[in-house]
């Protein structure tokens, strides 16, 4: 699978869980790996690349972390979009 | 700048001890954020409730740790603390700083934040309290360009911490600062990318005096120890007695394993039964001294009461050599992480998981043989059970 296609799958996976479940890195890696048949390491690398450019971001609540899609408002506050 | 009346906080300035209120007022005189923080805290004291919202997506790009989101729930009343995020900076091993480096940090913090700090947080980081979201990236860029890095937060490896070890303490059995730095460098990804069920803390103490309180605060406590006997200088013992020390009451009777005796002129130690707790040595520093091979005891599972009650660390490896590049220790730790990550529920610490599943599967997973030193409490249910195949042997 092309990397961009895999990234789209990861994004869709995270989007589908929005408001229902806080996903940890491992949930995404396992879920997308099962769904696409790609190796866990490949999914992890693609996910990390998305995190590095702000397409996905780590979130924090009650001392525990998850991975989420950042809101436009947040990206605007960070100066990443106008 | 708005002036807040703070009659309740003012009470906390009274008395001979240092006061955080006094320091907040100093910061408030020149910083709007610190000023509004003072006003909001006074309101919290008056109303007996907090006005903070906690968490969310706040951080610097690519990092999942080091920034903890905090917002005021009444920003219209206290706009200066509408955003009041915490920014954690990884402290140097042993917390040694040149004053010029501290000034550099404080100049940056005055520029981008509230000027308020917590030196240090319980994890060990320098805690910078109060930063706006839009200031995070420029602050991070400036701090990292000067060689600083963020500490850990969330479900990540928290910033490893250690006592000052061999740099100043003659009792350090291991080079705590070197090990702390090595773990920090080796596990950068675990520190900055939270991937686990919950937090994991290393604390490294050079001896059982445990100046970093690793036994109470770390998921993995590394405590320096030794294998040889305790050397006794009887003339120094006599000097302690002459100086007024009640050796029977203060030393012998306080020995947790009862391995010492004193006949009024000579102190004897049954080293076979000594647990290396350091009580006697730290009381009679001129008379007693560890000898022989040095290394560390590895303990697992301490935590403060969040999800379930507090736990003290539990010995898993009574003695391990601790020398660079620490390969044996790192391999052990990575096996611990793998078992915990595979088995824990969200927000379950490794100590809680061991309580839930038992010590036996944990020891099997990390490949450590059961040993007498691992017994946590005598006369309690044993944690080793025979398996079917053991019975058939």
Query: Per-residue pLDDT for B205 more than 70?
Result: yes
Nearest CB among B133, B341, B346 relative to A64 is that of B346
* A contacts of B64 (beta carbons < 8 Å): 51, 58, 60, 65, 67
Which chain A residue shows the shortest CA-CA distance from B347?
A64
Torsion (CA) A62, A65, A68, A72 in degrees, nearest 10:
60
Would the CB atoms of B195 and A77 count as touching at under 8 Å?
A: no
* A contacts of B53 (beta carbons < 8 Å): none
pLDDT number for residue B305: 82
Q: Kindly report the length of chain A.
A: 82
Tell me which of A21-35, A63-77, B249-263 is least confident.
A63-77
Would the CB atoms of B63 and A70 count as touching at under 8 Å?
A: no
Query: Per-residue pLDDT for B246 more than 70?
Result: yes
Tell me which of B206-220, B257-271, B349-363 is least confident.
B349-363
Q: Please report the ipTM that was assigned to this predicted complex.
A: 0.85
Peptide bond into B304 cis (omega under 30): no
To the nearest whole angstrom, how far is the Cα of B126 from the nearest Cα of chain A?
18
pLDDT number for residue B268: 97
CA–CA distance, B113 with B136 (Å, rounded to integer): 9
Query: Per-residue pLDDT for B382 more than 60?
Result: no
* B contacts of A57 (beta carbons < 8 Å): 57, 59
How would residue B384 be classed by pLDDT, with cut points 50, 70 and 90?
Answer: low
Task: Render pLDDT for A16-64 as a digit per residue (tens, 0 to 9).
Answer: 999 898 899 999 999 999 999 999 999 999 999 999 888 999 988 777 8
- At A37 the three-state DSSP class reads coil
Nearest CB among A51, A61, A64 relative to B198 is that of A64
Q: pTM of the full predicted structure? A: 0.92
CA–CA distance, B194 with B154 (Å, rounded to integer): 6
Would the CB atoms of B346 and A59 count as touching at under 8 Å?
A: no
Which chain A residue shows the shortest CA-CA distance from B62?
A52
Tell me which of A30-39, B96-105, B230-239, B355-364 is least confident.
B355-364
CA–CA distance, B248 with B387 (Å, rounded to integer): 47
Query: Per-residue pLDDT for B184 more than 60?
Result: yes
Torsion (CA) A67, A70, A71, A72 in degrees, nearest 10:
-170
pLDDT number for residue B385: 67
Query: Per-residue pLDDT for B319 more than 70?
Result: yes
Query: Per-residue pLDDT for B393 more than 80?
Result: no
Which chain A residue shows the shortest CA-CA distance from B198?
A64
């Amino acid at each position: 699978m092309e990397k961009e296609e895999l990234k789209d799958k990861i994004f869709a996976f995270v989007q589908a869980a929005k408001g229902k479940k806080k996903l940890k890195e491992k949930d995404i890696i396992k879920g997308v790996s099962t769904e696409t048949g790609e190796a866990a390491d490949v999914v992890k690398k693609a996910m990390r690349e998305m995190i590095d450019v702000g397409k996905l971001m780590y979130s924090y609540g009650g001392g525990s972390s998850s991975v989420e899609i950042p809101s436009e408002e947040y990206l605007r506050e960070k100066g990443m979009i106008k | 700048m708005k002036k807040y009346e703070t009659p309740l906080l003012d009470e906390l300035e009274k008395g001979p001890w240092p006061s955080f209120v006094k320091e907040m007022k100093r910061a408030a005189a020149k910083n709007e954020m610190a000023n509004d923080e003072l006003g909001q805290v006074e309101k919290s004291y008056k109303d007996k409730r907090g006005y903070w919202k906690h968490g969310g997506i706040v951080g610097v790009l690519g990092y999942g740790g080091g920034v903890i989101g905090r917002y005021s729930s009444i920003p219209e009343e206290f706009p200066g603390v509408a955003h009041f995020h915490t920014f954690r900076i990884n402290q140097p091993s042993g917390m040694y700083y040149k004053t010029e480096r501290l000034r550099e940090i404080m100049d940056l913090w005055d520029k981008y934040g509230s000027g308020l700090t917590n030196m240090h947080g319980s994890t060990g980081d320098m805690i910078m309290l109060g930063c706006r979201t839009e200031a995070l990236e420029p602050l991070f860029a400036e701090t990292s360009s000067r060689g600083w890095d963020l500490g850990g937060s969330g479900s990540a490896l928290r910033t490893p911490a250690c006592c000052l070890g061999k740099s100043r303490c003659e009792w350090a059995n291991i080079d705590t600062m070197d090990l702390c730095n090595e773990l920090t460098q080796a596990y950068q990804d675990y520190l900055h990318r939270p991937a686990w069920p919950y937090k994991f803390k290393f604390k490294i103490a050079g001896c059982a005096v445990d100046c970093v309180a690793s036994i109470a605060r770390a998921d993995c406590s590394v405590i320096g120890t030794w294998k040889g006997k305790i050397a006794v200088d009887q003339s120094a013992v006599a000097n302690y007695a002459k100086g007024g020390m009640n050796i029977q009451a203060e030393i012998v009777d306080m020995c947790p394993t009862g391995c010492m005796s004193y006949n009024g002129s000579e102190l004897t130690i049954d080293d076979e039964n000594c647990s290396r707790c350091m009580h006697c040595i730290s009381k009679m520093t001129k008379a007693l001294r560890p000898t022989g091979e040095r290394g560390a005891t590895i303990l697992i599972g301490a935590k403060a009461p969040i999800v379930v009650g507090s736990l003290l660390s539990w010995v898993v490896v009574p003695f391990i050599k601790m020398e660079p590049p620490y390969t044996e220790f790192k391999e052990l730790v990575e096996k611990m992480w793998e078992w915990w990550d595979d088995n824990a529920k969200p927000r379950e610490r490794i100590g809680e998981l061991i309580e839930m599943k038992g010590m036996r599967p944990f020891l099997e997973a990390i490949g450590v043989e059961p040993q007498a030193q691992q017994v946590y409490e005598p006369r309690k249910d044993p944690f080793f059970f025979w398996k079917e195949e053991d019975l058939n042997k």
